Amino acid sequence: MEQTTAVRPATSQQRAARAARNGGEPTLEFADRVPYDAYVHASTLHRLQQPLSDDPGEMSFLMVSQIMELYFKLTCHELRHAQREVRANRIWEALPPLRRAALHLEGLNAAWQGLRWMTPADFNRFRDRLGEGSGFQSAMYRQLEFLLGLRDPALIRPFRRQTDVHAELTAALATPSLWDDVVALLARRGFDLPDELLDRDVAAEHEPHPGVEAAWVRVYADSGPDNHLRLLGDALTEVAEQFGDWRWNHVKAVQRTMGAKVGSGGSAGLAWLQRSMARVVFPELWSARTAM
C-alpha cells in the first residue's frame, strides 16, 4: 500500500543549510518515501500501465494514451482559469493561462510522435484485446471540447452508467464555453450583439454569427499597444490552431495504423474523424480574417 507522507515545506535558508551539510551533494537518506514521490506520486503513475497483451508495442499505445489524458486535463485546467478571468473582465490576466494552454496543446501534439512507428500489422497484434475501447470514449477529451465550444449532448450518453462522470459532463454542457464568455465580453465592451445570441441555450453548439465576426474585424482594426482584445484574439487563435493540429494528427495516426477500417468504438473510424474536423473552434476568429 502506498505511503501518504506529505511534502514538508522548506525555506531558502533551510535549503542552503542542507546543501552546506551535504557538501553540495544531494540528500540520500529520508525517513519515509522520497519527497519527489510524495509530490509527483510517480510510484502510483508507474503502476497504471496494465497492458492486455504480450506485444511489446502495446505499452507505447497505452502510455501515449495516458499522457494525452493528462494533457487534456492540464489544458482544461488552464482554459478554465482563462475563462474565470474573461468573466471578470480581466483580459490581461487571461493571457498567461491561454498561452500556457497553447503550449500544453503543443506538447499534446508531440505525443503523437511516439506512435509514428505503428503500422496496421503492429496495431492488429493487440487491437482485438481492446474490445470496444476507443479514444472516442475519453470523458476528459469531451470536457476539453465542451470548453472550446464544440458541443453535442449525445456524446455524453456512453457515460450514463458512470454516474459521477456523467454528472460532470452534464454540468459542463450546462455551463457556457470559453467562447460563449468571450462573446459576452465583446458585448460588455460595447459591440452590438443580439440578445438571442447572448441568452442562447449553451448546451447547443455555437453557430457562427455575423455580429461576432464584425466585432473581431473592428478589434483587429485597432493596432495600438493597449488593445488587449486583439491580444486575447491572438491567444485564442493559437489555442484553436494547436487543437486543430491535434485533430489532424489524430486523423493521420488513424490513417497510418488502420486505414479506413471501422473504429473500435463503433464509428466509421477515419470518415467519422474527417467529418468532425468540419466543426471549427472559435469560428468567427477565422472567418473575420476574410473581411480584415
Does residue 2 carry a pLDDT above 70? no
Does residue 154 sit within a domain?
yes
Does residue 236 sit within a domain?
yes
- What's the domain range around 273? 62-126+133-291
Does residue 55 sit within a domain?
no
What is the mean pLDDT of the segment spanning 209-217? Answer: 97
pLDDT per position as a tens digit, 172-191:
999 999 999 999 999 999 99
Q: What is the pLDDT of residue 269?
A: 61
Does residue 19 sit within a domain?
no
Does residue 192 sit within a domain?
yes
Does residue 251 sit within a domain?
yes
Does residue 204 sit within a domain?
yes
The CATH number assigned to the domain holding 105 equals 1.20.58.480
Does residue 263 sit within a domain?
yes
Residues comprising the binding site for heme?
A: 250
Higher pLDDT, 108 or 252: 108
Does residue 95 carry a pLDDT above 60? yes
**What total of structural domains would you count in the chain?**
1
Does residue 288 carry a pLDDT above 50? yes
What is the mean pLDDT of the segment spanning 27-36? Answer: 82
Residues comprising the binding site for substrate?
A: 127
pLDDT band per the 50, 70, 90 thresholds, residue 1 = very low
Backbone angles phi, psi at 39, to 5 degrees: -90, -50
Q: What is the pLDDT of residue 186?
A: 98
Residues comprising the binding site?
A: 127, 250
Q: What is the pLDDT of residue 263?
A: 57
Q: Of 230, 228, 237, 187, whose CA–CA distance to 209 is shortest?
A: 187
